[in-house]
A and B are shown apart, each in its own frame.
Chain A
Amino acid sequence: MIALLCTLAWAGPVADGATAWEAGDIEAALEAWKPSADGGWGSGQVKFDVGNAYYRRGDLPRAIAYWRAAGVYRPRTSGVSHNLALARSELTGVPTPVGAPQLWMRIVTPGELGLIGLFVAGLGSMALVHRRRTREGSRLPGIGASLLGAVLVLLASWGWWVQTGMPVAVVVDAPAIGRVTPDLEAEPELTLRPGAEVAVLREMRDFLLVETGDGDRGWVPDGAVLRIPR
């Protein structure tokens, strides 16, 4: 199994794209990485690499979108924040980027938190079984660990649900007009320049209700933004 994983890691799309990248062929690298990055189960590494490729191509909004996606999977990776800071510093007139839905998601992903919770809950469960066999000691440590683990797992599940329910989107290609209602004839309320990182609050027909990091809201056409690929 380990050998198989190593083979996949060394010879998969990440490595294929990296070879093209090192040869200076950004398009070929993007071609190798993008199907995995957009495929639904794309890893943090491949999304990060796609972000770099877009940056090199000069498409800062898409680069930001993919780095934000990579940050969801790898919140502690300094490269993500470095590259995001680099791209953001080259944009002007964009609102404050929206942050992670929860503060703890800047440190740990819901999946990682869930694994920790499962481990703690497993320890608690084992402690209860052990106590039943030996009839020695108190049940409290086992019950406490089980409860703590369950709470962590539920927190992780809730965090994942929040993360999925309120995705981040980035305005791409052209400025997006935020309107009062989901209607192209409605009164414009705000203008978002390419690279603006917004939270998607609701979806109605072909419109998305988005909120900037400064708290401004407006309905923008779905095609004007790129939701961070998950």
Chain B
Amino acid sequence: MLRFLWLVAALVVAVPAWAANVSLSLGVSTIEASQTTRATVTVVGEQPAALPSFPATPGVRIRFRERASEFVSTPSTGIVQTYRYIFEVTPEGEGVYPIGPAEVGFRDKTVKKTESVTLTVRPRTAMGAPKEEIVAISKFRRESVWEGEIVLYDATLTARINIRDVQWSFPDFEGLQVPANVSAQTTQTRIGDPSGDITIVKTVIPLIAAGTGDRTQPPAVARVSELSNRMGPFGIAQSRQRNEPATRSPLTIRPLPKGPDDFSGLVGEFSIHSTLEKTEKVKVGESVGWTVTILGDGVVDGFDLPELKDLKGVRVYRDESHTAGGLVEGEYIGRKTFSMVLVPTERGVIELPDLTVVVFSPKEGRYVTKKVELGKLAVLGSGTKLEFEDFGTPGEVDSTEGAEPVDLEEVYTWGAATTVPLAPVLPLVLILVLGPGLLVLVADGVGGVRAWVARRRGPAREVRGKARLKAPPADPAERLAVCDLALREALADRTGVAVGELRRDAAMASLPPEVAENVQQAFFGLDRARFAGGEMPEDAVARVRIAIDQLERAA
């Protein structure tokens, strides 16, 4: 158990964001013949290059089903991405089958292996045979516990029909307390079965055994949303509510036997781990970080380390402590970490005394003393003792007999006394700094939009020839000029020269006679209006149009 706890804690604490960790788990570890379960390969921190692979296990078929990824954030690791690869595991018959280890390959050609797990396949009996559609069971994992111990309450719903969700109404848990900042854990598993898939929804609640005596709890009730085959409006499957009561949950809480004076108050299976930042070449007066972690399946919230006595040649300064507790893989884990600083005050090899904590072990039913060896500190230094000044220490002072106090870090003897706070003006400076780049982007964007609009519109069509006469100007002089230009453009186009290079006589000579006559008459009407001072004939525009039409047809 403790090995498992340490493994989980080490995984949670030590996984840096860049390191990939792989693990393998089964949906359920025991199924019945002809049933199917799922195996999940979880990869934390790095995306695998390919699907995880399993070694061939005789009598078991493993098929890839689906994959998913999510971001997980923990205080110790920050945000890490987790990839889950789900496989369907179908054993051919009864027996015990090792599954895995799965191999996961990464892009840098490294391959990591998970641990292997065991799948037990029992003969087909009650669970496999068709029975009730829904079965609700709630019970304490152990029916007899000690006062102060963590007891896990399992509420399990097994359904052979399609369900949407399950909501439990739990009893008041009289005589039990929910640990601070801990919430229940719910998992859902699906087992493939020839007589219909089985859905198992399991909720685990950790509780502290507070009262003593018979603490049997009334039954919990599961409120199940059962999906029907009928479709409702908008194609949504209809559901109906069902209440499924479980049975009473027996529990007896035994009072703790009279304990020793130095009992720490911890009830559970615990282990203590100590880490010294440095053990060799430590200087007198140097601060050496010291971390003590206590980990186990009990509540550690109110626990404090015992006072360290007989520490000759070293002083201990307490810093921060961090408490964590919660469910991991269905088991409760409590962990408290104490950060301290050791400051040697003498040179030489200092033997640090063992740290002992008295806990009550429910497994053994007695008080046990957990001990951790702190080891030795090899201290160097120019003097044999740290020199210090006597200074006032008001209030309640933790004076350690025989130990030398550590002095302050010295004051700054030079430096600026004032500093300009930069943070309030950061957004303004950011705008100034980003300004040139933003202007460039905006200018490029505007240019791009213009080019796009121009491309969408296509090349501009020149208005010339007959098109000029679509809406002739009202002003007679302008109309005359437009008609003359349109006719000359048409003639120039017919002749194949530019308007400025047009020689009217030569162009007219090249026209068929009937076209030339019409064009000549049109020019005549315009020339008369222009040069003879007469008004433009009313039919001049029509004549010019006809002439242009003929010119275009002749062309």
Contacts and interface: CB of A to CB of B under 8 A. Distances in A.
B395 interface: yes
A37 to B, nearest CB: 8
Given A41-B421, A58-B392, A82-B287, A132 B444 contact: yes
Contacts of B430: 117-118, 121, 149-150, 153-154
Interface in B306-324: 316-321
Nearest to A114: B426
A154 B320 CA distance: 30
A37 B416 CA distance: 11
A191 interface: no
B437 A41 contact: no
Contacts of A126: 436-437
Given A82-B409, A121-B434, A124-B437, A14 B426 contact: no
B433 A41 contact: no
Contacts of B392: 56-58
Interface residues of B, number: 49
B394 interface: yes
Contacts of A36: 417-418
A45 B422 contact: no
A73 B412 CA distance: 14
Chain A interface mostly: helix
B391 interface: yes
Interface string A131-172: 110000001001100100110011011011000000000000
A80 B409 CA distance: 8
A142 B437 contact: yes
Given A118-B430, A142-B437, A43 B415 contact: yes
A79 interface: yes
Given A12-B417, A128-B437, A160 B423 contact: yes
A221 interface: no
Interface string B62-96: 00000000000001000000000000000000000
Given A57-B392, A92-B396, A9 B416 contact: yes
A43 B419 CA distance: 5
B194 interface: no
Contact of B321 (A91, A96, A114, A121): A96
B554 interface: no
Contacts, number: 189
B420 A41 contact: yes
B393 interface: yes
A43 B423 CA distance: 14
A115 B414 CA distance: 24
Contacts of A115: 422
B409 A14 contact: no
A39 B418 contact: yes
Contact of B419 (A44, A90, A122): A44
A154 B429 CA distance: 11
A146 B438 CA distance: 9
Contact of A8 (B75, B317, B416, B436): B416
Contacts of B419: 41-44, 73
Given A90-B393, A150-B434, A49 B411 contact: yes
Nearest to B427: A157
B299 to A, nearest CB: 15
A11 B440 CA distance: 47
A89 B410 CA distance: 18
Most buried by A among B392, B393, B440, B444: B440
Interface string B314-347: 0011111100000000000000000001000000
A110 B423 contact: yes
B411 A89 contact: no
Given A78-B409, A128-B436, A142-B437, A91 B396 contact: yes
A156 B436 contact: no
Contacts of B509: none
14 contacts: A36-B417, A52-B411, A53-B411, A57-B392, A97-B320, A103-B75, A114-B422, A125-B436, A139-B441, A143-B441, A146-B434, A153-B429, A153-B430, A157-B426
Which 7 pairs across A and B sit closest by C-beta, in order of nearness? A125-B437, A79-B409, A160-B423, A58-B392, A36-B417, A128-B437, A18-B413
Given A42-B418, A48-B411, A127-B437, 15 more contacts: A13-B417, A14-B416, A37-B417, A52-B408, A56-B392, A85-B341, A89-B398, A93-B396, A114-B426, A117-B426, A125-B434, A126-B437, A139-B444, A157-B427, A159-B423
